[in-house]
């Protein structure tokens, strides 16, 4: 069984003036409280939860006697998280200012919010804790979101948290609702092996079928980015270099999404589980040729694996990791291991049994067959 966690963003549908004011008040108080907690932590010199609680509880309860305790707790915890990341930045001697909470958020959990469907229709409602007791609000799912939710069995579907905030862009109160559901695990003896590398980013194979994700186009693109950065470096245009860096990150992420989506679709069609190499060793295994620019070495394979695992589990497909030793040297026909089995980057020729194949295919088959 896999537990899949997802977040959807929904609009609170046309609240009355009174309810709108109430939501506004909750967010204002949340902002005030968060700033108060952060300042307290600054003067206490600690972000220890027990100490922060002890030092602030009475004061907060006196200032906001009607404010729900459950919300005070989540605001305090979120302030602690925010403060900790601020301190981490300072420690790395990066520029950071004390968090201001100009667009405050309130996190509701299962004690302070409930989501339910009204009878005989697809209307959904939330009930939220407020200083005036529980308030019921209609929410609006998009048709895409509704299709997803209606497709999940009610039994395993659980709504965990909801973050209330005001979207300045939409000019609406919105909720980011996190939900969980369970997916039955596929049982099968088929294994799809995935070989990751730089010439082919991913080769995924089941017996008799192989698919390549060639790296050439992306490598070209990244070479271009590297070149651009080098030129800008000479001119000392640091801001521009940074912006190219994040552009490249976005590009890599897009490609990784595309590759992982295709791999999982393939494994699903083949009714196969997925087997990959433990990443720590991939870098050692890949033989970099001088032709491959240094800049190209940092393809984010770990991100790709995380995407594959997440998407596969959502389909009930288990993902296993294996020790990658010898996957590229071993002959998948006879099992003979020798460096000379791979005379060229993309060519495999077993010196013992004469088996020949694309080297990545051979590696992907070995990955699939290792237990
Ligand atoms: Zn052989």
pLDDT tens figures, 109-165: 999 999 887 775 557 889 999 999 999 998 888 888 877 777 776 667 888 899 999
Interhelix angle for 49-63 vs 17-44, to 10°?
140
Please, are residues 125 and 118 in contact by the beta-carbon 8 Å criterion? yes
Distance (Å) from CA 322 to ligand 1 centroid: 21
Distance (Å) from CA 348 to ligand 1 centroid: 10
Distance (Å) from CA 349 to ligand 1 centroid: 8
* Cα torsion 239, 245, 251, 257: sign: negative
Interhelix angle for 17-44 vs 69-91, to 10°?
50
Ion ligand 1 neighbours (CB, 5 A) are 331, 333-334, 336, 350, 352-353, 355
- Which tokens sit at 308? 């594959």
**Segments making up each domain of the chain, as ranges:** 1-184, 191-369
Distance (Å) from CA 361 to ligand 1 centroid: 14
Distance (Å) from CA 87 to ligand 1 centroid: 57
Distance (Å) from CA 171 to ligand 1 centroid: 66
CA dist., res. 280 & res. 278, Å (int): 6
CA dist., res. 178 & res. 292, Å (int): 43
pLDDT at 297: 59
pLDDT at 283: 54
Distance (Å) from CA 360 to ligand 1 centroid: 15
How many Å is the maximal CA-CA distance in the chain?
Answer: 83
Distance (Å) from CA 357 to ligand 1 centroid: 11
Question: What is the secondary structure of 287-349 as a DSSP string?
Answer: ---TTS-GGGGG--HHHHHHHHHHHHHHTT--EEEE--TTTTTB-TTT--B-GGG--BTTEEE
Instruction: Give backbone dihedrals phi and psi of 67, rounded to 5 degrees, phi first.
Output: -75, 130
pLDDT at 284: 54
pLDDT at 85: 93
Distance (Å) from CA 272 to ligand 1 centroid: 25
pLDDT at 288: 52
Distance (Å) from CA 296 to ligand 1 centroid: 32
CA dist., res. 365 & res. 371, Å (int): 12
Please, are residues 1 and 182 in contact by the beta-carbon 8 Å criterion? yes
Where are the strands (E) in the chain, listed by range? 2-12, 106-108, 113-117, 124-130, 133-140, 158-167, 172-183, 191-196, 200-206, 209-214, 273-277, 319-322, 347-349, 356-358
Q: What is the pTM of this model?
A: 0.74
Distance (Å) from CA 336 to ligand 1 centroid: 5
| CA-closest candidate to residue 190, choices 355, 320, 329, 5 | 320
Please, are residues 60 and 36 in contact by the beta-carbon 8 Å criterion? yes
What is the architecture, at CATH level 2, of domain 191-369? 2-Layer Sandwich (3.30)
pLDDT along the chain (371 residues), means of 10: 90 91 95 96 94 94 94 95 93 85 93 83 84 91 80 77 93 93 89 86 85 87 88 87 89 94 95 87 54 58 92 94 86 92 89 92 87 70
pLDDT at 293: 47
Please, are residues 46 and 84 in contact by the beta-carbon 8 Å criterion? no
Distance (Å) from CA 356 to ligand 1 centroid: 8
């Amino acid at each position: 069984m896999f537990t899949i966690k997802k977040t959807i963003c929904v609009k609170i549908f046309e609240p009355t003036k009174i309810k709108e004011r109430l939501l506004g008040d909750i967010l204002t108080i949340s902002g005030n409280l968060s700033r108060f907690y952060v300042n307290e932590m600054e003067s206490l010199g600690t972000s220890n939860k027990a100490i922060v609680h002890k030092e602030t509880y009475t004061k907060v309860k006196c200032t906001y006697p009607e404010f729900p305790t459950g919300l005070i707790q989540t605001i305090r915890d979120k302030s602690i998280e925010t403060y900790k990341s601020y301190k981490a930045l300072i420690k790395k001697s990066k520029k950071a200012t004390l968090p201001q909470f100009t667009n405050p958020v309130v996190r509701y959990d299962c004690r302070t919010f409930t989501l339910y469907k009204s009878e005989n229709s697809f209307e959904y409602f939330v009930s939220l804790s407020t200083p005036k007791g529980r308030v019921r609000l209609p929410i609006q799912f998009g048709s895409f979101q509704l299709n997803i939710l209606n497709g999940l069995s009610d039994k395993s579907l659980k709504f965990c948290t909801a973050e209330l905030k005001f979207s300045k862009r939409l000019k609406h109160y919105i909720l980011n609702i996190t939900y969980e559901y369970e997916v039955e695990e596929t049982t099968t003896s088929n294994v799809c092996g995935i070989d990751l590398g730089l010439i082919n980013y991913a080769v995924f194979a089941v017996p008799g079928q192989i698919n390549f994700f060639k790296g050439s186009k992306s490598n070209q693109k990244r070479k271009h980015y590297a070149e651009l950065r080098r030129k800008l470096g000479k001119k000392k245009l640091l801001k521009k270099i940074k912006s190219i860096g994040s552009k490249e990150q976005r590009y890599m992420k897009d490609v990784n999404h595309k590759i992982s989506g295709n791999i999982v679709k393939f494994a699903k069609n083949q009714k196969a589980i997925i087997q990959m190499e433990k990443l720590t060793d991939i870098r050692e295994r890949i033989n970099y040729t001088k032709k491959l620019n240094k800049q190209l070495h940092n393809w984010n394979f770990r991100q790709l694996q995380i995407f594959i695992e997440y998407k596969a589990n959502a389909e009930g497909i288990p993902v296993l990791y294996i020790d990658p030793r010898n996957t590229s040297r071993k002959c998948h026909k006879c099992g003979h291991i020798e460096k000379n089995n791979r005379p060229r980057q993309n060519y495999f020729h077993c010196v013992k049994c004469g088996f020949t194949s694309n080297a990545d295919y051979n590696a992907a088959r070995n990955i699939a067959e290792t237990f």
